Structure 1
């Protein structure tokens, strides 16, 4: 009887999901993604840019000029999460490598914890001065019976992209919104 209980407990343990990895990175200074993006958004308010939005939902395209208020509301998604908070930081692994295909240094933050909304952040830095070229953020959320994957892209001093894919009961919907403020795209 005792052996059967031990076998049952052992079998249950084998089928339990493994706990998410944690990393001892208390002393690692993560790139200040949230602070950088907030500073970029704030600097846009100080220059009289012509701003517009390009939206593609499934196969339908639309474009429109936008106000600063609309821009600020749309870009809140970029500063919503902070992986450098001590309670969350331990679930992220940092890696840095030189990427010849993009001519940049890439700092990547990844997690295997599917309960965290931010799954990956990539910061691309210029090799000559280590200034930001681009930032990419991938988030994943489950709401009721829908799965939402958002891919965010920020191009320094030019534009940002919000690509949202929603899966709901076997149906997929994709929306890509690009906000341009420096007119170089």
Structure 2
């Protein structure tokens, strides 16, 4: 037993001396480059997939525009659809490139069997994104993007709403400090031609 005590003491003393002689700087977060590991939902992929889905099918695509009390409706081509949808895609891509400006929160809604993922920012033109995911499949059901920008004395608010496999809406309003307001709504929907 005495020999084991001596060997143990010697090993303890040896490791203590070795630890004191280590001149290597301790790793700290300040000298490491940390990769971006945030797992934000890829909303740009969702919009892109929806655009491809419509582009590859023989849907009837309808555009409805409302300005004030005037409303018009017309069938549009796939190219017109893709052009209009690309505006929403650009917002989603901007979010993806600047996700560090956003705070994420998640809410489970048992009534609609969905999760709502919210991204909010006070530092970006995109102020708020709400994404409703199906609780069973984790696939998007609805997407809402709210953009608020200031141009001179005019506040421009755009609300982009997307319902999966059905339609998207771009709601735009301009308000001046003098109280002048102008708003427009563009709704684009698609469905099978036999419906």
Shorter chain as denominator, the TM-score bin is 0.7 to 0.9
Match of 1:37 in 2: 47
Q: Is the 8 A contact 2:47 2:89 kept in 1?
A: yes
State the distance in 2 between where 1:133 and 1:162 align.
17
The alignment's C-alpha RMSD in Å is 2.1
Kindly state the Cα deviation for residue 26 of structure 1 after the two structures are TM-superposed.
3.1
Report whether the alignment pairs 1:182 with 2:191: yes
Kindly state the Cα deviation for residue 101 of structure 1 after the two structures are TM-superposed.
4.5
Report whether the alignment pairs 1:46 with 2:56: yes
Match of 2:160 in 1: 152
State the distance in 1 between where 2:71 and 2:64 align.
7
Report whether the alignment pairs 1:62 with 2:72: yes
Q: Structure 2 regions of 5+ residues with no counterpart?
A: 1-33
State the distance in 2 between where 1:42 and 1:170 align.
41
Kindly state the Cα deviation for residue 118 of structure 1 after the two structures are TM-superposed.
0.9
Match of 1:97 in 2: 107
Match of 2:143 in 1: 135
Closer, same or farther: CA 155–183 of 1 in aligned 2, 3 Å:
farther
Match of 1:8 in 2: none
SS in 2 for 1:63: strand
Match of 1:13 in 2: none
Closer, same or farther: CA 71–102 of 1 in aligned 2, 3 Å:
same
State the distance in 1 between where 2:171 and 2:62 align.
16
Larger radius of gyration: 2
More displaced 10-residue stretch of structure 1: 56-65 or 44-53: 56-65
State the distance in 2 between where 1:25 and 1:160 align.
34
Task: Give the structure-2-normalised TM-score.
Answer: 0.75
State the distance in 1 between where 2:72 and 2:105 align.
38
Kindly state the Cα deviation for residue 66 of structure 1 after the two structures are TM-superposed.
0.8
State the distance in 2 between where 1:79 and 1:101 align.
29
Report whether the alignment pairs 1:83 with 2:92: no
More helix by share: 2
Task: Give the structure-1-normalised TM-score.
Answer: 0.78
